[in-house]
Amino acid sequence: MSEHDVLKKNRNFYIGVGGTVLEGLLSGSLFMLLYSVMQFLWSGQFDMNRVLVLTCVIAVVFLLRILIYSYGYTKAQIGGAEVSKNTRLFMGDHLKRIPLSRFTQGQTGDYINTITSDVNNYEKILTHKIGDMAKSFALSLMLIIFVMTIYVPAGIILLIADLLLIPGLWPSFRMVRKYGKEKNDICAENVSSIVEYVSGIQTFRAYGVGGLKNKTVINAMREFCRISFVYESKVLPIGAVFGILSWLSCPLVILLAYAPWVAGTLNTVDYLLICMLPLFCAKLANSIFVDLTSYKNLMISKNKILSVMNEPEETGSMEPLHTATHEITFDNVDFAYVPGEPVLKHATFTVPDQKLTAIIGDSGSGKSTILNLIAKYYEATGGTISIGGKPINHVAAERVLEQVSMVDQDIFLFDDTIRDNIRHARPNATDTEIEAACREANCDSFIRKMEKGYDTPTGENGNLLSGGERQRISIARAILKNSPILLLDEATASLDIENELAVKQAIANLLKEKKTVVMIAHTLSIVKNADQILVMGDGRIAESGTHEELLAKGGKYAAMWNAEQKISA
């Protein structure tokens, strides 16, 4: 199903619009009934039989309006909700195939805003705006034709008043195009700032920068207030001018019809009616102006939805990545998060199969970037990355990640039980296998001490567990997945001594199996027994070798080792 098919209006939508228009025309027919009543009264032919007949007709029309409106409104809501459901499902499926590098903080806020607020806005178009506009157009046309049958010049004035919509909407649409998109973009930035604020609220409070001191969120909200005011201040005056001009049709019709009424060529009943109808027509014209302006603004949301739907998906092969060995080779690999600011420059090295390779270096030297490229969170901008001799440049990230287990500093846990959080690593795993993985990860004991054991909720993003507990659960997931490649990104950073020892033991258990391991560590004592140590410097591999070989070279590694020994002494 294409994006246009997903947004396509369905049968329920058209039934809803038809019901709304029909209900509007029935409401307009009441003016004709009123005209008949006025004629009978003026002619003196009104009697009880006519009263009963007209009362019954009005009651039937009123009942029909209720039934048709209820049915049409319900169908419109069902039709709009169906489109929203299909749109969100399509976008959710599409987001799974968008390159992972797109999910930066700003882009994530944009996605959240689109899949929630923008989809809601598009649903509002289908369930309310189109039906209301169609009803107002049909009713206006009906009343104009009715007035023309009574007195043509009055009908022409009402038609001209409605045609003023065309020049009135042109500047209004320009303002919507100019400021509406900016408002939508600022709203997305607001969402990003709020998501970041809520996610980091504990840290903000710990450092005393919560509340008003969080300038990023406050500025984002202030900017949203500003653009909202600017948007309204630009659009409202246009609507006000149009409103004044359309309401001028009322005195014009009264004045124009006055002379023929005095002359006797227009009877009193006709004169009274055509003096009343411009009031209703002017109100309809203003409603159409507001609805069309709102429709144009809401269509920005549809365009945002389409822009997300049209984002390029990963083009890599979905064929399973089968290799006899799992060594990892970087051949002249270049990468930059920001164009013109390279992080890796012609990086060339090989991680041996079923060996432990450690990467060390200064902060910002590109250590974590290497892991991100191996896992295909990002795509290299130059060079070739291979696993088991097969280049992965044109392999889908999902296929590569099937071969990889990762343990990061920042652990993400679902708001679920401990057992199910671990089971995500291998959905078909038995409870026995999960518990065995937890024993290896050094977390079985603390889990069993909890009141609900493995069925204990972790809270949103694991906030009911300590950092060390979250880390060990992450290691349990890696053990359960049992992938041939293991990536460890400073897994023991930011932990207290007790938790660090527990995590180190868990990692030692994880490394019992023969795997191709790439480890980033902040202390050299952890990596000194690695089969290979890579020393990063200025986006390149400055040195490589074993602990003894690097000490013998007397280079950067030796200097870092000596400095660490002095600190620990």
Q: Which of the four pLDDT bands, split at 50, 70 and 90, describes residue 387? A: very high
Residue type, 42: W
Q: Are 122 and 301 within 8 A, CB to CB?
A: yes
Given this model, what pLDDT does residue 3 score? 63
Residue 342 reports pLDDT greater than 90 = no
Between CA 441 and CA 509 the distance in angstroms is 7
Of 184-193, 342-351, 378-387, 442-451, the range with the lowest mean pLDDT is 184-193
Between CA 188 and CA 165 the distance in angstroms is 32
In terms of Cα–Cα distance, which of 492, 509, 524 is closest to 411?
A: 492
Q: How far is CA 292 from CA 36, 138, 164, 197, 286, in A?
A: 34, 15, 13, 36, 10
Given this model, what pLDDT does residue 208 score? 60
Q: Is 484 contained in some domain? A: no
The residue count of the chain comes to: 569
CATH number at residue 252: 1.20.1560.10
Burial 173-202, CB ≥16 within 10 A → b, else e:
bebbeebbeebbebbbbbbbbbebbeeeee
In terms of Cα–Cα distance, which of 284, 286, 205 is closest to 242?
A: 286
Q: Is 120 contained in some domain? A: yes
Between CA 66 and CA 480 the distance in angstroms is 61
Q: Is 437 contained in some domain? A: no
pLDDT in tens, 115-167: 888 888 888 888 888 888 888 899 999 989 988 988 899 989 999 988 888 88
Q: Which residues contact 122 (CB under 8 A, 6 or more apart)?
A: 7, 83, 84, 87, 298, 301, 302, 305
The DSSP H or E segment spanning 65 is: helix 48-95
pLDDT in tens, 485-515: 988 887 665 555 566 666 667 677 767 778 8
Between CA 264 and CA 258 the distance in angstroms is 10
Between CA 65 and CA 43 the distance in angstroms is 30
Q: Is 163 contained in some domain? A: yes
- DSSP secondary structure letters along 185-226: HHHHHHHHHHHHHHHTHHHHHHTT--GGG-HHHHHHHHHHHH
Residue 184 reports pLDDT greater than 80 = no
Q: Which residue has the tokens 């009880």?
A: 48
- Backbone phi and psi for residue 467, each to the nearest 5 degrees, phi listed first: -60, -45
First vs last Cα of the chain: how many Å apart? 66
Range of the domain at 299: 3-309
Averaged pLDDT of the chain: 83
Residue 367 reports pLDDT greater than 70 = yes
Q: Which residue has the tokens 């200064």?
A: 362
pTM: 0.69
Q: Which of the four pLDDT bands, split at 50, 70 and 90, describes residue 308? A: confident
Q: Is 295 contained in some domain? A: yes
Residue 386 reports pLDDT greater than 90 = yes
Q: Is 265 contained in some domain? A: yes
pLDDT in tens, 88-102: 888 888 887 787 767
Q: Give the mean pLDDT of 527-537.
A: 86
Q: Which of the four pLDDT bands, split at 50, 70 and 90, describes residue 205? A: low
Strand partners, 342: none
The structural domain count of the chain equals 1
Of 354-358, 435-439, 512-516, the range with the lowest mean pLDDT is 512-516
Token representation of residue 367:
């250590």
pLDDT in tens, 217-232: 777 778 888 888 888 8
Between CA 104 and CA 109 the distance in angstroms is 9
Q: Which of the four pLDDT bands, split at 50, 70 and 90, describes residue 331? A: very high
Q: Is 126 contained in some domain? A: yes
Q: Is 466 contained in some domain? A: no
In terms of Cα–Cα distance, which of 398, 404, 374, 368 is closest to 386?
A: 374
Token representation of residue 535:
């020393």
Between 110 and 63, whose confidence is greater? Answer: 63
Strand partners, 488: 407, 519
Given this model, what pLDDT does residue 329 score? 93
Q: Are 127 and 74 within 8 A, CB to CB?
A: no
DSSP state for residue 180 in the 8-state scheme: I
Q: Taking the CB of residue 536, how many other CB atoms lie within 10 A of it?
A: 23
Token representation of residue 538:
């200025």
Q: Are 486 and 513 within 8 A, CB to CB?
A: no
Between CA 151 and CA 256 the distance in angstroms is 10
Residue type, 335: F
Torsional class of 364: left (φ above 0), alpha (ψ -120 to 50), beta (otherwise): left
Residue 71 reports pLDDT greater than 70 = yes
